[in-house]
Amino acid sequence: MAGSLKDQLDNLMMKINPGTTFGIDIGSHSIKVCELSGSPGKFKIEKFGMFVLSEATLIEDDIQKPQEIVDGILEAIKISGIKSRMVSLGLFGPNTMTKRLSIPEGTKEEIEDHVLWESEQYITFGADESQIDFDILGENEGGGSDAIVVAAKNELIEKFTEVIKEAKLNVKVVDLNVLALSNVFEEAMKNDIEEYSQGTLILDFGAQSTKIVIYKRGGPIFTKEIPVGGGLITEEIQRQMGVSYEEAEDLKTSKELPQEILNIINAQLDVQMNEVKKNINFYITQGSAEKVNYCFITGGSSLLPGLIERLADITKIEVQRLDVFSRIKVNERKMGDNIDQLAAISPIVIGLAMRKMQ
């Protein structure tokens, strides 16, 4: 079907006046949108909006309540004041993959064939059913080059782009959240990036998952998502206290935590830190060739009390919060009072917004 006249006019207007591409981060806890101005080294957050989702709207990468996602996107855009219709969309979860490969020299076609052939063995959800892309990071010591390969299952791309289309928006860029995190780290730390390229651990603590990035030699050498996050703490508060999801979230984020809630948070953090430790242990051991020297954290759940101390204990290195506003300017008057919370929840959506079309 051709669609209604209104739909045809909307599509025509998007082509005539697309505006700046802005980032959308659709997470299990909230939807965040961000529009930047400027260019690398001179980025500024012009518009930002967030909509908090109800329980189980999104489980891992499976959209359970598509209409709420659509409504949430529209509400976040309304809050932000974004007028553009062009979107840089972030994907995540078990149906995505990143891999750093060493590739030999060759023509553009030879390199592409080599990357696609070698990457197939790492795509557990099926290379034939996926979109694959890669970017050359630079030369390596072996005489070839390093490439970062990314893949996402077609079905996942279709599910997420469908809700974007339902919100009358156009997807111009599809990125992976772990790469958006790596890119925003690189931008925020550009003044000292050579030092951090010796080995840096970046952790994004979200609601349903924790994203792990090892940044070394000019890009990510390891990325992973593990299914632990602040949502598990909310569920445990619900179970033990006999309260609703919303009440449990309020208790978890209260400025003055009751001792009973603090005990639940501490017990759950111990369990989650053990999972983090198992996944990064190889990279933080003294004898590993990929030893890391620095650790930065971000994500809404990174604000939980006691997390930094526990993480420092298992990594044996100093843990710092990623200060995305060290180089990326923000209008504090527009963004509200809680700039620390914004700094914690915004890096991925900022990284997506950085992918705007030139």
Q: Is residue 331 part of a domain?
A: yes
Q: Is residue 327 part of a domain?
A: yes
The residue length of the chain stands at 358
User: Does residue 1 surpass a pLDDT of 50?
Assistant: no
Domain of 37 in residue numbering reads as 19-353
Q: Is residue 117 part of a domain?
A: yes
CA distance 112 to 73: 36
CATH number where 259 lies: 3.30.420.40
Query: pLDDT tens across 332-344, in order?
Result: 776 666 788 999 9
Q: What is the per-residue pLDDT for 288?
A: 56
Q: Is residue 2 part of a domain?
A: no
Q: Is residue 294 part of a domain?
A: yes
Instruction: Check residue 311 and report its DSSP letter.
Output: H
- pLDDT tier for residue 139 given thresholds of 50, 70 and 90: confident
Query: pLDDT tens across 148-173, in order?
Result: 999 999 999 999 999 999 999 999 99
Domain total of the chain = 1
Q: Which residue in this structure is represented by tokens 């990125």?
A: 175
Q: Is residue 236 part of a domain?
A: yes
Residue 306: closest CA among 223, 232, 358, 230: 230
* Full 3-state SS string of 257-289: CCHHHHHHHHHHHHHHHHHHHHHHHHHHCCCCC
Q: Is residue 1 part of a domain?
A: no
Name the average pLDDT for the chain.
Answer: 90
Q: What is the per-residue pLDDT for 336?
A: 63
Q: What is the per-residue pLDDT for 290?
A: 64
Q: Is residue 7 part of a domain?
A: no
